[in-house]
Structure 1
Amino acid sequence: MFPASAGAEPSPGRYLRDEGSGTLYKRGRLLGEGTFGRCYQVTEVTSGRLYAAKVIPRARLAAAGTGHRVERERELQSRLRHRHIVRLHGHFADGGHLYLLLELCSRGSLADTVRARGRLTEPEVRYYLRQLLSGLRYLHGHGLVHRDLKLSNFLLTERMRVKIGDLGLAGRAAPPGRRWGYTALTGHAPFEARRRAELYRRIRSARYPLPPQLSPRARALIARMLHPEPAARPSPEAALGHPFLTQGFTPRTLPPCACHSVPIFVGQEPLRRILRGIWRGCGCVPAPPQRTRARISTEENLY
């Protein structure tokens, strides 16, 4: 467990030094803020390498469960190696903060994309979901379940690949016969209600709205993933073999403008190659504005 100390929470300096190795990092732009601290882009001064530094005040580590969760995240991410899981490069501490040096995902999270776009297209969902299920299959193969799957924990790299982050709540795999749900399509959470009791009733009875534009294959996958009985939900392997993921068009890559605008898709790959020059120039169409919501929600995931 990391040591903790009480007192006020000092701000990190412009330069961060790992006293153990002598490495100096320059703090850059703020990437985000979470429960335990802030995340900044940092540059290793000697090499110019870029990282995401999760900066956690020591005072917060004294809170019940916080230190254990941070230590859990550090321990897991230091030994997991997968192209769709955020990699931990190292950690160090000073008098005021603990620093976790993580792989930089400079395009933000899928939560940021959905806030800007309102919802994703089905080809995009297939593109992201295949990658996420690959990462989840790797975790399950190591006897782990994430337990905090949501859009803000699905991070995008510079090249628009998606990676799973924040393993602080990860735990041992569920016993045989159980399945953990995964959600991923409409711009809002599947279960919403103004009162918590009604929210729970909707979850137990699998009552959720579906927009008319969804394909039959998407509807079928959603029904499987949101089944009230955990054992009836698909494993990552089963989900990867579902017709929604195997029979629909899936792009090989996405342009950066897909973070804020709807990309143009052409169903046949040869035609996509013809339009690639336009696509790289961000040939996108504006997304419809997202409606604001003030309801109780099970999570910030799409479905």
Structure 2
Amino acid sequence: MELRVLRRWGAQEPVASFLRDPNTGRIYRRGRLLGTGAFGRCYKLTDMSTNRVFALKVVPRGRLSGLRTLILSVEREIELHSQLRHRNVVGFHGHFADQDNVYLVLEYCSRKWASPRLKVRRTWVPFQLSNFFITKNMEVKVGDLGLATKVGPGGHCHGGLCGTPNYLAPEVVSRKGHSFRSDIWALGCIMYTALTGFPPFKASPLPEMYQNIRDAHYPVPTHLSPNARRLIAHLLAPNPADRPSLDQVLEDDFFTQGFTPDQLPSQSCHTAPIFTIPQPLDKLFQKATQLFLAMAQHRAPRELCGCGRREDPLKTPREAANEVRGPGDLPGIGGWGQCGSHRLTLPSVCSGKQDPPGQQQPVLWATKWVDYSNKYGFGYELSDGSTGVLLRDGTHIALQPALGCISYSPVQGEVVTFTWRDIPDSLATKVAVLQLFTRYMQRWLLEGGNLPTQPSLNPGPGFSLLHFLKSDQALLLLFSDQTMQVNFYHDHTKLLLNWAGEEPLLTYIDQERRATSHPLGALQCCGCSEALRQRLCYTLHLLRTF
């Protein structure tokens, strides 16, 4: 592509409110200014025919007048960016020009920038923080490829001095050329800055900073973990050959030891996130199913193949129990049931006339609930008086009087807490829904059973309802502390499975609202009543239909 220079250097002309791409005929509406750079500006852009939102990079032709290097830089950026296809590179959707400006239509990253720069295939991009952008879904993407270039033979490119001074590698400062190892150095600068709040090498005076870069002389952040300090030292090795590869970086103890969230919460853009360490939902169901599978019994053990038909989730507890005792195949979960030679045998548990002696054990459970998920969400009240709502959009909000706060979970595993005074306006509607559910349950609904309370059982800010499952016979609730609760509609009995102690504890609330708790091991040894066995079988049946 060749750019014709029509204007001399001067003040930036305002960009028209509506722009037409002569190549495609599309009409765009220019939105608000997103940011400015040394040679251009970036605006929010909307395609009038589809309402799709983009980012528009505008480079005034006047800035390019007489500067052949800048013209080549824009041409190179368009050429390279249009060829890149990577989920962590800002998408390139086209370009066009008029007599005033050159326009690049790019993917819109609503959370602006986070920071660095990297290599993609055979392209070198100098790392720095302002080139990292964050999408609405908290995905990090690299953009602004004005200084990107193709890597030459041997993985090296030109020996010019370009890029942000704070992030230049020793070989770049010494004009020995860039390589992928220079990216590793820049990654070390970014890691240092992200963990400390300031770069390892200060920008002035410039000669002193360059010497510190050559010597890898920087303040050692003693407050960081040993793994973090060790990785930074490896990334900022003065000799490029001593720096780790990207694969080695990903295998470093800093990334592999301890808890690493699957995704950063959106609040990370402005506040430190609070993490709980969730167990994947499918594993919780699998774990619960396996325990119940060990509990379910035949009067005579039999082999069951896991390749049967899908069961009807609308059977009564007695019908489900009879089907478990009788012929038929049951679908397995995970490694418990597979087609072929591997067969599933249910362990035998004696069926007694009554349950073994139990005790009243304090358990945190849902005493009230209301399902308005077709419009608002699913609300519940816990035995300690806390209330929560799993909203239609998948977020969770809870009122915890014992902690004096509102807790909000935009995604599973992320929790933000607010006092009543600090609740943001963006949550006003959800707080109103929570208050509506709370007033309704406290005024109109009865407690679901009699269980002893204990102050130490108050849920923490990370406690939430993960999922609920309904049939016409029962309701199943799964909470973030791995408690599983099953409410049976027809006689108001309930099962609670809790992993808080050394051994899984099963609590049964009977028709008289009396609660008795049994370790699962005791039921396996001593058996259980027919009523409890039927409910265990139906719970297993419900889990298998999930």
User: Normalized against structure 2, the TM-score is what?
Assistant: 0.44
For 1:76-87, what aligned pairs fall within 5 Å after superposition?
76-87=80-91
SS at match of 1:60: helix
Matches within 5 A, 1:1-303: 1-7=2-8, 8=10, 9-62=12-65, 63-110=67-114, 136=118, 139=120, 142-146=121-125, 148-173=126-151, 175=154, 179-180=181-182, 181=185, 182-183=187-188, 184=191, 185-192=195-202, 194-266=204-276, 268-270=277-279, 277=396, 278-280=408-410, 283=416
State the 1:19 CA deviation. Answer: 2.0
C-alpha deviation, 1:89, in angstroms: 0.3
Q: What SS does the corresponding residue of 2:112 show, helix, strand or coil?
A: coil
CA, structure 1 residues 284+230, in 2 after alignment: closer, same or farther (shift >3 Å)? farther
Instruction: Deviation per CA, 1:24-77: give whole Å up to 9, x if none.
Output: 100111111011110001000010000000011111122342111111111111
Residues 243, 74 of structure 1: alpha-carbon distance in 2 compared, 3 angstrom cutoff: same
Q: 1:194 Cα deviation (Å)?
A: 4.1
Contact 2:31 2:43 in 1 (8 A): yes
In 2, are the aligned partners of 1:41 and 1:50 still within 8 Å (CA)?
yes
Distance 2:53 2:155 in 1: 41
Letter of the aligned partner of 1:103 in structure 2? Answer: E
What is the rounded CA distance, in whole Å, between the counterparts of 1:261 and 1:271 in structure 2?
A: 25
Query: Structure 1 residues 151, 176: closer, same or farther in 2, change over 3 A?
Result: closer
How many equivalent residue pairs? 258
Show structure 1 runs of 4+ deviating over 6 A: 271-276
* Unaligned runs of at least 5 residues, structure 1: 112-131, 286-303
Q: Once superposed, what is the RMSD of the aligned Cα atoms? A: 2.7
Distance 1:102 1:194, change over 3 A: closer
* Structure 2 counterpart of 1:150, one-letter code: Q
2:118/2:127 contact within 8 Å kept: no
Query: In the alignment, what sits opposite 1:289?
Result: none
Computing the radius of gyration from Cα coordinates, the structure with the larger value is: 2
1:217 offset after TM fit, Å? 1.1
**In the alignment, residue 29 of structure 2 is paired with which amino acid?**
K
Q: 1:252, CA displacement in angstroms? A: 1.3
> Counterpart amino acid of 1:67?
I
Normalised to the residue count of structure 1, the TM-score between the two structures is 0.77
Q: Flag the structure with more relative contact order, 1 or 2, with Cα contacts below 8 A and sequence separation at least 6.
A: 1
8 A contact 1:264–1:283 mirrored in 2: yes
- Partner Cα separation in structure 2 for residue 204 and residue 219 of structure 1: 19
Deviations 1:92-126 (A, max 9, x none): 11121111000011101115xxxxxxxxxxxxxxx
Whole-angstrom distance in 2 between the partners of 1:221 and 1:242: 7
Structure 2 stretches lacking a partner, 5+ long? 157-178, 285-387, 397-407, 419-546
* Residue in structure 2 matched with residue 297 of structure 1 by the alignment: none
Shift, 1:193, TM fit: 6.1
What is the letter of the counterpart of residue 21 of structure 1? T
Aligned to 1:288: none
